[in-house]
Amino acid sequence: MDHTETAREILDTMLGYLGFVTQIEIETGSGPDATLQVATGEPKPLIGHRGERLDDIQYLVNRILQCRDSKAPRVRVDVDNYRATQEFRMIEDAERAAERALAAGKPMKLEPMNSYHRRIIHNHFKDHPEVKTWSPKDSARVKRISIIPKDSGS
């Protein structure tokens, strides 16, 4: 049995014990990680406030999977495309900040975000012709990215 199917079974069992009626589909994307897409009639209790409960569920699934096989790749858990929608909105907000940075000719800071979300933003702008991104190199878990016009010299 492959790791993704094992992760799906772990998640299905976990949610079943918690009393949720769900359907779980395995989605493979462009990256190395697979996504377990949970479809349910009651997404809010699984997502939680700002996705914290969804992060916790994903963490538990990956911990159990890693205990079974330390070489197993991580899986993402999403509920009713919450993460995909959140990431799309986050990129839209960053694009608007880039437009403001270009119009003002000075850096604009984004809202604080975790390393996963920062990576999405940095990758989105890596080949942008007019702006670059920067975030501090400290050990803080949550940091703010600055979007800087390339000709500003900042």
Tell me, what's the pLDDT at 1? 60
- Token pair of 4, please? 């993704």
SS3 148: strand
| Residues 121, 148 within the same domain | yes
* Whether residue 92 sits in one domain with residue 31: no
Q: Are 73 and 103 in a shared domain?
A: no
Distance between CA atoms of 104 and 130, rounded to whole angstroms?
A: 13
Its domain, for residue 97, covers 85-152
The domain tally of the chain equals: 2
Question: Final residue of a domain: which of 25, 52, 80?
Answer: 80
pLDDT higher for 110 or 139? 110
Other Cβ atoms within 10 Å of 17 Cβ, number = 8
- pLDDT single digits (tens) 9-61: 999 999 999 999 999 999 886 555 789 999 999 899 999 998 899 999 999 99
Check residue 113 and report its DSSP letter.
B
Residues 68 and 112 in one domain: no
pLDDT band at 152 (very low <50, low <70, confident <90, very high): low
Q: Please give the pLDDT value at position 142.
A: 81
**Predicted pLDDT at 50:** 85
Last-in-domain residue among 37, 58, 80: 80
